[in-house]
A = this chain, B = another copy of it.
Amino acid sequence: MLYLTRIETFNAAHKLFNPELSDLENDEIYGICANKNWHGHNYELYVTIKGKVNPKTGFIFDLKKLSQFIQMHVIKKYDHKNLNLDVPTLQNILCSTENIALAIWNDLEIHLPEGVKLHAIKLYETNKNYVEYYGE
């Protein structure tokens, strides 16, 4: 079993705000991340799949196709967008890095090409923090 990782990026606006809480509570929990006019990040996404080497190609899966798959199901929907307003799978969800990683896992999982097994998502919000999810 080998693990193949592809790294892609998207640049997006978001804010952290729970509409079921008061403005004061939002401020206490989220601080400057709750700025009503949004802020943003260069998100860096690591997608790891696992499998055995195909003896005909030498690949677990074609890297170019993996990149196109991530582009189609994540980057096109998240890049240069407002995560809270523009991304269908993030509607009514708190746009924390944790929840964005979970949404990206689902975006990829339901469209996986035959024979590809998703192993992990790693999502950097800044170069000082990231979230990992392994599907369970």
Check: A112 CB closer than 8 A to any chain B CB.
no
Contacts of A97 in B (CB 8 A): 4
Give 5 nearest A-B pairs by CB, closest first: A40-B40, A58-B94, A58-B96, A37-B82, A13-B13
User: Could you pull out 12 A-B pairs where Cβ atoms are within 8 angstroms?
Assistant: A2-B132, A3-B131, A3-B132, A4-B130, A5-B130, A5-B132, A6-B129, A11-B40, A11-B41, A12-B40, A38-B82, A63-B129
Interface residues of A (CB under 8 A from B): 1-9, 11-14, 16, 18, 21, 29, 31-33, 35, 37-42, 48, 53, 56-60, 62-64, 79-82, 85-86, 93-99, 101-102, 126-134, 136
